[in-house]
A = this chain, B = another copy of it.
Amino acid sequence: MGVTKTQIFDERQNELAHFFKVLGHPARIAILQYISKQNACICNDLVEEIGLAQATISQHLKELKSIGLLKGEIEGKRMCYCIDLDRWNALQQSLNSFFNTTKHNCC
């Protein structure tokens, strides 16, 4: 086993879970915080800043791109990764919507 049974959940549950999952790694949190602190981002800076190998950072960036949080623009021989603000806000809202609609209690 070891496979998440995505077929028994609805699309929204899977999407929400995937989003949470991508944010569920300290390196990816750190990457987002660092990109935010700077005004431009270059992957190579991240390697020094975060302290993981270049291949590893590149992999984490790919996952952040997979949910649209980052957009990359080629800038000469460099890559400029930035936060996609529209997506960022949309995700925050989607997440708050989950929190607000799922908080009834019993005991």
Question: Which residues of A come within 8 Å of B, CB atoms?
Answer: 4-6, 8-9, 13-14, 16-30, 32-33, 36-41, 50-52, 71, 73, 80, 82-83, 85, 88-89, 91-92, 95-96, 98-99, 101-107
Query: Would you call the interface of chain A mostly helix, strand, loop, or mixed?
Result: helix
Which B residues are CB-close (under 8 A) to A33? 13, 102
Contact at B21–A20, with CB atoms within 8 Å?
A: yes
Partner of A8, one of B20, B52, B101: B52
Among candidates B24, B32, B83, residue contacting A24 with C-beta atoms closer than 8 Å: B24
- A79 CB → nearest B CB, Å: 11
Chain B residues closer than 8 Å to A4, beta-carbon distance: 25-27
